[in-house]
Structure 1
Amino acid sequence: MEAAIIPPQSAGYNIETEWVEGEPFDWNTVNARFTWNTTGKVNMAYECIDRHVDEGNGERIALHYLSEEEEFTYTFSELKREVNRWANVLLRYGVKKGDFVFVFLPKHPYCHIAMFAAIKIGAVVGPLFEAFMEEAVKDRINDCEGKYLITEDSFLDRVNREEMPSLSTVFTIDKTDGAIPSITSEAEKASTELDTVWVDLEDGLNIHYTSGSTGKPKGIIHAHRNMIQQFQTGRWVLDLKEEDVYWCTAHPGWVTGTVYGVFAPLLNGVTTVIHGGRFSAKAWYEVLEKAKVSVWYSAPTAFRMLKGQSEGIHAHYDLSSLRHILSVGEPLNPEVIHWAYQTWGLRIHDTWWMTETGAQLIANLPTRPIKPGSMGKPIPGIEVEILDEEGQPLPPQETGHLAIRSTWPSIMKEVWKNPDKFASYFPFGEDWYLAGDLAYVDEEGYVFFQGRSDDMINSSGERIGPFEVESKLLEHPAVRESGVIGKPDPLRGEIVKAFIVVRDGYKDRDGLMEDLRRFVKTELAGHCAPREIEFIDELPKTQISGKVLRRELKKRDKVNS
C-alpha cells in the first residue's frame, strides 16, 4: 500500500467550516440553502439562475465561452432573459410539464440555455453527446418517445425523423427560413418575462442513457431533489466559492457535463467556463490562462494526454489562478497525480460517482491527504461497504462489491419503463445500491477500485456497452458473429476490441478492418468504434444459451498480447 504522501495544500476550504471529520451529516440541513425551503416553489432552473438575479447578483458572469473563433460572456441577468425567451418559444410549440426535450448541440452556451429553458417550464431534458451518430440518437429518443429536439443544421443528417415517430418538432439554433423552426430567431421576438413552472422535488429533471453489458442503453431519470447533493458537493468536493472561475471539460451529453458542468457551478453562483474547441495542450493551457480558471474538473485520459503532449509547455502560461484540480470517469493513475504535483504544484483530487448516483459519493476531499491510486473516502452523509457474493460485509483489504447505503438525495428516480433494471441495482435489498464495481477499503477508509463486475468498457471515462457495439457490427454484411471486450490501454484506460467471425466470401481482411471501424463510427459513435479488431474462426459461447463468453475473449487477448 502506497503511503499517504500528498497532504492537503492549504486551509480555508468550505468544508472546514461546515463539517467536522468523523461527525455524522444530515442532508436535510442543506435544504436551507434553497428558496423552496421557505416558498415551497421548486425548480432547478430558478435555483441556478433566477435566484442569483433576485439576490442582487445579476451582473456577475455566469457563462464565459471561448473558442478559436469567438469569446463572449453571459451575466446571470442576461442568461435569465435568454432562457425565458427560449422557454416561451417552447411553450408556443406545445411543450408542457413532463415532456421530454432532447438537446443535441456542441459545447456552447446555447446548450445550457436550451437545457434550462426546458427545465424552467417543467419538461425533462435529455442532453445528447455531440458525437452521437444516427443510431445512438434514434435509440434514445425512441425509448422515451421524445417529442422535441433542439439541434443545429450540421447535425440534422443524424436525425432520421422517419424512424422517430414520436418526434413532433425539431428546432435548429441556426437562423434559417426553412421548414425547421429556428429557436434563436423566434427567441429574438419572444418575451423576456416568464412564469416559472413550479414542480415537486420528486418530479423528473433530466434523463441520461447509460450503456449496459446486455441490451440497449437504459434511460436513467433524475429528479429536481438532485440539486441538494449537487449544490453541496459543489461546495465541499469542488470547493466552489463565489469568486471562482470554474471549468468542467465534459460535454453535457455525459452526466458529468450536466451535473458538474451545468448544474453544480451555477447552483453555487460561480462563473462557468465553456470551451468550444478541440483538445490540445496548447488550447487547454490558453483557456486556463485567459479565463483565469481557479477550479478545474477533467478526466484521467485528458491529464494523461496533457502529460504526453505538454512537457515544459505549461511554463509558457500563467496558471497562477489555478488552485484546485479534480478528476472523474475512470481510475486516476498514481503517476499522473505525481506528475501534476511536480508540474503544477497542485494535487489532482480523484472522485467517484455514476450516472445512476446523480452526484459524487466518494472523493479525495481537499482537506484530506491523498493516497495515489485511491478514489478517496465516502463524502459526509455517504456510507460505503464492500460486500461478498451473499451481501455480507468484508474486512479491510478484501475485494468485493462496492455498495452504498441508498439514502443520498441524488440517487436516480427510476430507470425509464424498466423496473426490473432498477431493482437489479439492489440485489441484497433496498438498503444497498451496488455499483457494479469491485473494490476494497483500507484500514483508514480509503476506497481502491479493482475492476468491473460486469463487461462494461470504460474508455477515456466514457462507458460503452459491448452489446451495443456487437449489435451494430452484426449489421455489417461481412460480419457473421461479433464479440466485444475492453482491452487495457495505458492512455485511455481501456479500448474497444472486437473479435469478428467473417462471412464466406470476404477476403480483404485489412480493408475490412478499416471499413468496420468506419461503420461503427458513422452509425453509432466515434468512441464506440473498435480500435483493435481480431478475426476469429469461432467465438467461445455457453453451450445452453449460446451467449458469447467475453471472459474467454479477454483471456485469449491477454495470452496473445
Structure 2
Amino acid sequence: MFTKEEYADYKDLCARYKPECPDNFNFSFDVLDKMDPEKVALIHVDDAGTRREFTARFFQESSCRLANALKEKGVKKGDRIMLVLYRRYEYWTVMLALHRLGALPIPSPSLLTKKDIVERVNYAGISAVICEDSICERVDQAKPDCPGLKLFVQIDGQTNDGWFDYEELMASGDAAFPRTGDSPCGDDPMVIFFSSGTTGLPKMVLHTFDYPASHFTTGALWHDLEDGDIHLTLSETGWAKSVWGKFYGQWMAGATVFVWDFRGKFEPAELLRIMADNRITTFCAPPTVYRFLVREDLTKYDLSALRHCTTAGELLNDSVFHAWQKAFNMPLYEGYGQTETTLQVATFKFMKPKPGSIGKPVPGWDIALLDEEGNQVPQGEEGEICIKIDKPVLGLFDSYMDEPGKTASVKYDGWYHTGDKAWADEDGFFWFMGRTDDLIKSSGYRIGPFEVESALVAHDAVIEAAVTGLPDEVRGQLVKATVVLAPGYEGNEKLTKELQAFVRELTAPYKYPRVIEYVTDLPKTISGKIKRKEIREADLAKLVN
C-alpha cells in the first residue's frame, strides 16, 4: 500500500511522487493489522532504564482489548477523550484503540495545571480522561468544575476512587475487534490536537482518518526510513509532533519506533548514551537539542549506527549545522509544518541542505508566498506561507473543532493562511522568518526574529534568545533581544557590545539587537514555544509606567 522509492533529485520527486490515501482508510485496521505480528514495532526505555520490546502483535491485541472494554463503558464514535501519558508505551495502545472505535483522542501535555484541565475539558466537550497516576490528583481537583467528565482511567499506582484500573479494564476486553460497515474511516473525525496557544486559548485542530497517510512522506522520505531502522524522535506524546516522528509514518515505512520516556530535566549526555547503547539509526529533534548535544564531547559516544538526522520547530543556526556535520559527517535536514498540517516544506536526502533554510515545498502541497492583498511575492521578498485548497489536500486539518469562525479566518479565497512568513531564494529554497505578528519593522526594514536569534545562540555565552520589537519614536521599532546566558557568563555592558558585534558579523548590520536584556528564563507555552507576545506586552507596560 505504501511503497518507498528512490529519487534522483527534487525535480524527480515532484515528477513522480504523489501522496495518496486509500479509500475508507483507518490506520488501525489498514496498517497495524496488516503488519507482521512478530515485527518489533516499538522499543521503550523508561526513566529507570528498563528496556522493553513490543511487537506488532502486542499492539494489535491490546488495542482490540481496550477498544472492546471502552465500548462496554459507553465510549462511542465521536466521543472526545483526553490522554495525558508522557511517553508511556500505553499511549500507542490507547490511540489505536480509539481509532478502532472512532472516539477522538486529544493528546495532552503532562504540564497541564488544574486550571488548564478545566478549561480544555469544558472547551472541547471532553467526556473521559485516560492518564497515568501522577496526573490523577490534578484531574480530581478539576472534576467539580467539569460536569461533562464521566469516565476516568488510571495507568499505574494504587487506583484512586472513581477511577478504573487500565490493566484490569484491558483484561476484560476481547482480543478481537472486527471491522464493520460502521467502523470510522476516511473523512470521519479522528484526532484533535490543541495548538500551542502562544496568543490565547489553544485552538482545537481536527484531523480526519486520512491524516496518517500523509505522514508516509514524513517517515519514508524526510526521515529516510527503511525496514529495520530504529527511529528516535524526542517529542512528548502530548503534541502533534509525536505522531510525526513516533507513530504513523515510521510504521508505514517499516521502521521500529524508539521511545525514551525520560522525566525531569533533559540531560544531553544521557540522550547521547541512550542513542549509542540502542544503536539509533535515524534521529529527529528541534535545533535547541542539537545545540546542547554539540556542546558535549561527542567522541565519547559510539553513534556509528546513526545515518540520517532531521530537525524542525525553530531555526537551525549555521554553527550547529557545521558542528554536527564535522562530528558525524552528515548534515541536518530541516523541515516545516504545523499542528494544522503534516510536512509541508522540507530538505530531503537527495537535496543539498542550505543551513537555516527549511527546504522546498513537498509534493502534494501547492504552496505560495502571498502578500497582504493575496498576490504572490517576487523571489527574495517576504510573504505569508499559504496553501492552495481549491481541491482536497492530504494532511491538511479539517477545521478548528466547533469554531467555524476561526476556521474561516484562515481558510478563505482558495487558500489556507498559515500565519507564518518566509522568503524564497533563487533556487526555490524557503527561509522562515517567523509568525506574522512577530516581525519587527525598524527604519523601513522588516526583520524576522529567527535570523537574529540564530545568530545570538551561535555565541558560546548564549543558551536561548527571544527577539522582539521595542517601540521607538525614530525607528518605529528597535530590535530587542531577551537572552538566557550559559553558566559562567555575566550580563554586562562589555558582553552586550560583544554580542552586538557578533550578530553584525553574521547578519545584515541593521538587524543587530540595539537593546539586550538578560534573564534567567524565557516565557514559554507548555509546548516549549517562546511567548514573544508576552515579552512585548511586558515591555509596553514598562514604557507606560
TM-score band w.r.t. shorter chain = 0.7 to 0.9
The 8 Å contact of residues 106 and 191 in structure 2, kept in 1 or not, is answered as yes
**Structure 1 residue 67 corresponds to structure 2 residue 46:** yes
Amino acid at match of 1:67: D
Distance in 2, matches of 1:175 and 1:554, equals 46
Amino acid at match of 1:274: V
Match of 2:316 among 312, 329, 332: 332
Partner residue of 1:344?
328
Partner residue of 1:398?
381
Distance in 1, matches of 2:357 and 2:542, equals 27
Call closer, same or farther: CA 1:369–1:163 in 2, change over 3 Å. Answer: same
Partner residue of 1:445?
428
Amino acid at match of 1:296: F
Q: Deviations over 1:472-525 (max 9, x none)?
A: xxxxxxxxxxxxxx9997344539999xxxxxxxxxxxxxxxxxx99x99xx84
**Structure 1 residue 195 corresponds to structure 2 residue 178:** yes
Indicate the SS of the match to 2:57: helix
Q: Deviations over 1:49-89 (max 9, x none)?
A: 2110xxxx211101100134211010001121111222222
Call closer, same or farther: CA 1:19–1:378 in 2, change over 3 Å. Answer: closer
Call closer, same or farther: CA 1:67–1:497 in 2, change over 3 Å. Answer: farther
Deviation, 1:123, is 1.0
Deviation, 1:447, is 0.2
Partner residue of 2:85?
105
Amino acid at match of 1:494: A
**Structure 1 residue 368 corresponds to structure 2 residue 319:** no
Partner residue of 2:94?
114
Distance in 2, matches of 1:418 and 1:455, equals 25
Partner residue of 1:354?
338
Distance in 1, matches of 2:208 and 2:127, equals 20
Call closer, same or farther: CA 1:362–1:551 in 2, change over 3 Å. Answer: farther
Partner residue of 2:286?
299
Distance in 2, matches of 1:225 and 1:201, equals 5
The 8 Å contact of residues 497 and 530 in structure 1, kept in 2 or not, is answered as no
Partner residue of 1:51?
34
Deviation, 1:554, is 11
Amino acid at match of 2:338: M
Percent identity at matched positions? 25
Distance in 1, matches of 2:333 and 2:286, equals 11
Amino acid at match of 1:416: M
Partner residue of 2:504?
none
Distance in 1, matches of 2:119 and 2:243, equals 20
The 8 Å contact of residues 250 and 257 in structure 1, kept in 2 or not, is answered as yes
Call closer, same or farther: CA 1:19–1:228 in 2, change over 3 Å. Answer: farther
**Structure 1 residue 435 corresponds to structure 2 residue 402:** no
The 8 Å contact of residues 47 and 267 in structure 1, kept in 2 or not, is answered as no
**Structure 1 residue 270 corresponds to structure 2 residue 249:** no
Indicate the SS of the match to 2:102: coil
Call closer, same or farther: CA 1:121–1:497 in 2, change over 3 Å. Answer: farther
Partner residue of 1:21?
12
Indicate the SS of the match to 2:7: helix
The 8 Å contact of residues 226 and 410 in structure 1, kept in 2 or not, is answered as yes
Indicate the SS of the match to 1:195: coil
Q: Deviations over 1:271-329 (max 9, x none)?
A: 10010114212221122122211111111111112123x1x2x2222211111100011
The 8 Å contact of residues 217 and 343 in structure 2, kept in 1 or not, is answered as no
Call closer, same or farther: CA 1:493–1:404 in 2, change over 3 Å. Answer: farther
Indicate the SS of the match to 1:331: coil
Distance in 2, matches of 1:200 and 1:294, equals 33
Indicate the SS of the match to 1:136: helix
Partner residue of 1:482?
none
Partner residue of 1:132?
112
Distance in 2, matches of 1:370 and 1:528, equals 25
**Structure 1 residue 423 corresponds to structure 2 residue 444:** no
Amino acid at match of 2:214: Q
Indicate the SS of the match to 1:454: helix
Partner residue of 2:267?
280
Deviation, 1:211, is 3.9
Call closer, same or farther: CA 1:147–1:263 in 2, change over 3 Å. Answer: same
Normalised by the length of structure 2, the TM-score is: 0.78
Distance in 2, matches of 1:453 and 1:530, equals 14
Q: Deviations over 1:16-48 (max 9, x none)?
A: 2798527445746x34xxxxx4xx553122234
The 8 Å contact of residues 196 and 529 in structure 2, kept in 1 or not, is answered as no
Deviation, 1:455, is 4.9
Indicate the SS of the match to 1:21: helix
Distance in 2, matches of 1:555 and 1:392, equals 38
Distance in 2, matches of 1:341 and 1:252, equals 29
Q: Deviations over 1:180-239 (max 9, x none)?
A: 111112213432122246223111111011144554211000011112211233211111
Q: Which protein, 1 or 2, shows the higher relative CO under an 8 Å CA cutoff with sep ≥ 6?
A: 1
**Structure 1 residue 152 corresponds to structure 2 residue 132:** yes
Call closer, same or farther: CA 1:497–1:264 in 2, change over 3 Å. Answer: farther
Distance in 2, matches of 1:409 and 1:530, equals 30
**Structure 1 residue 181 corresponds to structure 2 residue 164:** yes
The 8 Å contact of residues 175 and 184 in structure 1, kept in 2 or not, is answered as no
The 8 Å contact of residues 282 and 307 in structure 2, kept in 1 or not, is answered as yes
Deviation, 1:381, is 2.6
Distance in 1, matches of 2:538 and 2:354, equals 31
Call closer, same or farther: CA 1:256–1:525 in 2, change over 3 Å. Answer: closer
Amino acid at match of 2:91: C
Amino acid at match of 2:100: K
Q: For structure 1, which segment, 363-372 or 380-389, has the greater mean C-alpha deviation from structure 2 after superposition?
A: 380-389
Deviation, 1:169, is 0.6
Amino acid at match of 1:290: D
Amino acid at match of 1:163: D
Distance in 2, matches of 1:361 and 1:556, equals 40
The 8 Å contact of residues 438 and 532 in structure 2, kept in 1 or not, is answered as no
Distance in 1, matches of 2:345 and 2:527, equals 30
Match of 1:383 among 340, 363, 366: 366
Normalised by the length of structure 1, the TM-score is: 0.76
Amino acid at match of 2:299: A
The 8 Å contact of residues 237 and 366 in structure 1, kept in 2 or not, is answered as yes
The 8 Å contact of residues 79 and 113 in structure 1, kept in 2 or not, is answered as yes
Deviation, 1:351, is 0.4
The 8 Å contact of residues 136 and 525 in structure 1, kept in 2 or not, is answered as no
Q: Deviations over 1:321-341 (max 9, x none)?
A: 111100011111121111110
Deviation, 1:556, is 6.8
The 8 Å contact of residues 213 and 455 in structure 1, kept in 2 or not, is answered as no
Report how many aligned residue pairs link the two structures: 465
Distance in 2, matches of 1:554 and 1:364, equals 41
The 8 Å contact of residues 336 and 358 in structure 2, kept in 1 or not, is answered as yes
Distance in 1, matches of 2:420 and 2:541, equals 18
Unpaired runs of 5+ in structure 1? Answer: 1-12, 32-36, 457-485, 499-516, 535-548
